[in-house]
Chains A and B, each alone.
Chain A
Amino acid sequence: MALAADPAARPGAADPMRPEVARVTRRRPDGPDVVTLWLDWPGWKGSAPGQFNMMGLPGLGEVPISVSGGTGTPGRVMQTIRAVGPVSRALAALEADEALTIRGPYGRPWPVAGRQGKPVLIVAGGLGLAPLRPVIRHFARHRAEHPSVDLVIGARSPADLFFHDEYEDWREAGLSVALTVDHAPPGWPGRVGVVTPLIRTEGPVAAFLCGPEIMMRVSAERLTGHGADAGDIHVSLERNMQCGVGLCGHCQLGPVLLCRDGPVLDWAAARPLMRIEEL
């Protein structure tokens, strides 16, 4: 397992922990407790897919939020937030023209480069779709380099699915997009059930999994059971990230500091960590 951080993972600021000020330019509710914010952030230089920023509000604290868009647009970034705690609830409640603190990007990104010729599978569960959106857009742009690009999206209910307006764009780019929900009201025309039956690849595949850890585990086990190499399966793990640069140790997961060595790990590295109940 190579844990040396990618140079692309390093924040651009001279002091990587010094927050800057960003301003909300647009706010879109994306579900019962999910909001996407577009930010005007003069210091933003872009990021690699899968990296995250530390977003905060003075007096409340900071939380790590994966970049869901704007990886290649200096000055403008898109962040999708699930309101689950005091800080994320306050961030999700921000309206256009309101300000917040932000620093980043941090973490090792999804290794999307160098996968030419392989089938690609992207499995997104719940809010896991947000950090995978830049991956999806990357493979939509590079669709011709892969025999297939399959996207499986799982959610709690149809109301919890987000980024709907992009599904058709992704299909038009040649991606196979399958949706499933755990529970559905009458009239839902899509699938009901877990994501695993929709994972139909056999043999080698470049896989990118993000969502609840149980979902990633059963998905990765299904893939390895069907001949995928653990080194070609990547997952994104989430722990209590605070400093973002591997100093404070809050996000330690066994031998790994997830903010620095993750959040993206290959399955060979993640599998033993996800089997330890205490971690």
Chain B
Amino acid sequence: MKIEGLDHILGQHRLFRDLDPDFLRLVAGCAANRVFPPGTRLARHGEPMSHIYLVRAGHVAAEIAAPGRGRLRILTVGPDEVLGLSWLVPPFKWGTDAETVDEVRAVEIDADCLRRKCEADPAIGYAVLKRFMTPIVERLHATRLQMLDVYGPRR
């Protein structure tokens, strides 16, 4: 049985597809392959963002607790998507709660480790930052659409 290296697994994720192999190995040095059962709490609003999750299978729900309204599910992160987009922005804290909906297979990246490597080598930092800009912009656009309430009554 062939055992795939973490750099290879990272390179299969949409975020890092076709990234330079040397960069992939550096990122893989900060990463671990993980499996989370349903109901695992991966993030809590306001807590330090210690990890980024590149979801390979399964779904994670991002939620915000609203006083009097309970927990509001605002987004689901699925295969080939990323949980933890604000890892490079001080104060490096989670903006939502996050919990696995079903069994989740993900590459877990140590955010401190990746930040240090990005700071130490601007070429890596720029390459990684460019990769993260795509899901950041896609999520911004998606959030705008959600705010428009396109399925709701015309106002």
Contacts and interface: CB of A to CB of B under 8 A. Distances in A.
- A is bound by B: yes
B146 to A, nearest CB: 5
B76 A182 contact: no
Interface stretch (B83-91, B122-130, B137-145): B137-145
A155 B151 CA distance: 6
A150 to B, nearest CB: 14
Given A156-B151, A160-B151, A193-B75, A186 B70 contact: yes
Nearest to B74: A192
Interface residues of A, number: 29
A160 B146 CA distance: 15
Interface stretch (A67-75, A165-173, A211-219): A211-219
A73 B50 CA distance: 60
Given A182-B146, A186-B70, A193-B142, A84 B153 contact: yes
A196 interface: yes
A269 interface: no
B150 interface: yes
A186 B151 contact: no
A84 B70 CA distance: 30
Interface in A181-202: 182-186, 188-194, 196-198, 200
A91 B92 CA distance: 54
B73 A214 contact: no
B73 A125 contact: no
Contacts of A190: 76
B70 A192 contact: no
A84 B71 CA distance: 31
Contact of B76 (A154, A160, A180, A215): A180
Contacts of A215: 145, 150
A57 B85 CA distance: 54
B151 A196 contact: no
A126 interface: yes
B101 interface: yes
Contact of B150 (A125, A188, A192): A125
B152 interface: yes
B148 to A, nearest CB: 6
B14 to A, nearest CB: 9
Nearest to A128: B151
Contact of B151 (A84, A126, A184, A189): A126
Contacts of A180: 76
Nearest to B78: A191
B73 A184 contact: yes
Nearest to B71: A186
Contacts of B121: none
A191 B150 contact: no
Contacts of A191: 59, 76, 78
Nearest to B153: A84
Given A196-B138, A197-B78, A200-B80, 20 more contacts: A156-B151, A156-B152, A182-B146, A182-B149, A182-B151, A184-B73, A185-B70, A186-B71, A190-B76, A191-B78, A192-B73, A192-B74, A193-B76, A193-B142, A193-B146, A196-B141, A198-B78, A211-B151, A212-B151, A215-B145
17 contacts: A84-B154, A125-B150, A156-B151, A160-B151, A180-B76, A182-B149, A183-B73, A190-B76, A191-B59, A192-B75, A196-B141, A197-B81, A211-B150, A211-B151, A214-B145, A215-B145, A215-B150
